Amino acid sequence: MKIAGRILILLSSSYLVIIPAFLTHRTNGMTCTGISINIADSSDFHLVNKLEIRNLVSSGGARVIGAPVNSISLGSIEERLSRLRELKEAEAYFSIDGTLHVYANQRNPILRIIAGGGDYFLDDEGVVLHRKKLYTPRLHILEGNIRITSQMLNGVSVLDTAIKNSILPDIYELVQYIRHDNFWSAQIDQINVDDEDEIDLIPRMGDHRIHLGTIGNYRGKLRNLEVFYRDVMPVTGWNRYDLIDLEFESQIVCRKR
C-alpha cells in the first residue's frame, strides 16, 4: 500500500514538472491567434471598456495578433494596464490555443464627488479617480468644500496616513456606514461639506436638510434621528421643517418652515 502511494506521489510530481515544460515548448513556436478580454463586474460598473484595454495591449503600435507568443511580454501588458486607475488589478496570459486572455478587475465606486470644478469617484479602498462620462452608477453624491490633491489623483488612498488635513477619511467612514445600513442607504441622497468642515445630509424623502455637524458620534446622531423619523415625522408631516439639527449631543433641534 505504501509502495502504491509512493508511486502515485512520484507520478503526480512528474506530471507537475512535465506539463509546464510541455506548455512552454508548445507556446514557444506559436503565434497569438486572438485577444479575449474579460472585465469583472461589467454588468454592475462600466468604468472601463474593452476598446480601452485592447488599445493598451497594443499600445506603441506593437503587433499582437499574429506575433510569436514568445515575443509578447505579458509583464509589459500588465504594467500598461496598471496605469488605468479604474482597475484594481489586471492579468494577462496565453491559453494553449494561442489566445491572449486579459482579465481586468474594476474598482468598486461608493461615492461620487463633485468639487472644485471636478467630477470624481471614491472607491471602497479610498482611491479617488476621475469620473468618465462612460457610465455613472447610482451613488451618494458629495459636494462642497472638498479638496482633491495630486497625491489622491496619483492613487494614494484617502485612508493613507500620507493624506493630511482632509475630511475625506471621515466622509469615507460615514458613507460606508450609510451604505451598509438599509434604512439610511435608502434615505440619504447627498452629502454637503461647508467651509468649516461641517456636514449636511440631504434626504430623498421630505423637503428638509439634516445638519450633522462634525463627524463626532455620527452613529448616535443618526440613531436618534431614525427614532425621530419613525415616531415624530409621521405625525407632524415630512415637510413641516426645513432644518433638522443634530449637532448638539443627544438633542434634535428642528426649525419650522
Domain ranges of the chain: 30-106, 109-256
Q: How much is the average pLDDT of 172-184?
A: 96
Q: What is the pLDDT of residues 107-136, one digit of tens each?
A: 999 999 999 889 999 999 999 999 877 666
Q: Which long-range contacts (CB under 8 A, 24 or more apart) does 246-251 make?
A: 246/210, 246/211, 246/212, 246/213, 246/221, 246/222, 247/198, 247/211, 247/212, 247/213, 247/214, 248/213, 249/217, 250/220, 250/224
Q: What is the pLDDT of residues 53-100, one digit of tens each?
A: 999 998 866 789 999 999 999 999 999 999 888 999 999 999 999 999
At residue 47 the predicted structure's pLDDT band, cuts being 50, 70 and 90, is: confident
Question: pTM above the 0.95 mark?
Answer: no
| Vertex 172 angle, CA 168 and 175, to 5° | 130
d(CA 95, CA 27): 9
The CATH homologous superfamily to which domain 109-256 belongs is Cell division protein FtsQ/DivIB (3.40.50.11690)
Task: Give residue 16's pLDDT.
Answer: 43
Task: Give residue 27's pLDDT.
Answer: 55
> CB–CB of 95/123 below 8 Å?
no
Instruction: Classify domain 30-106 by CATH architecture.
Output: Roll (3.10)
Average pLDDT over the chain, rounded to an integer: 87
Least confident of 42-56, 95-109, 184-198: 42-56
Q: Fold match between 30-106 and 109-256?
A: no
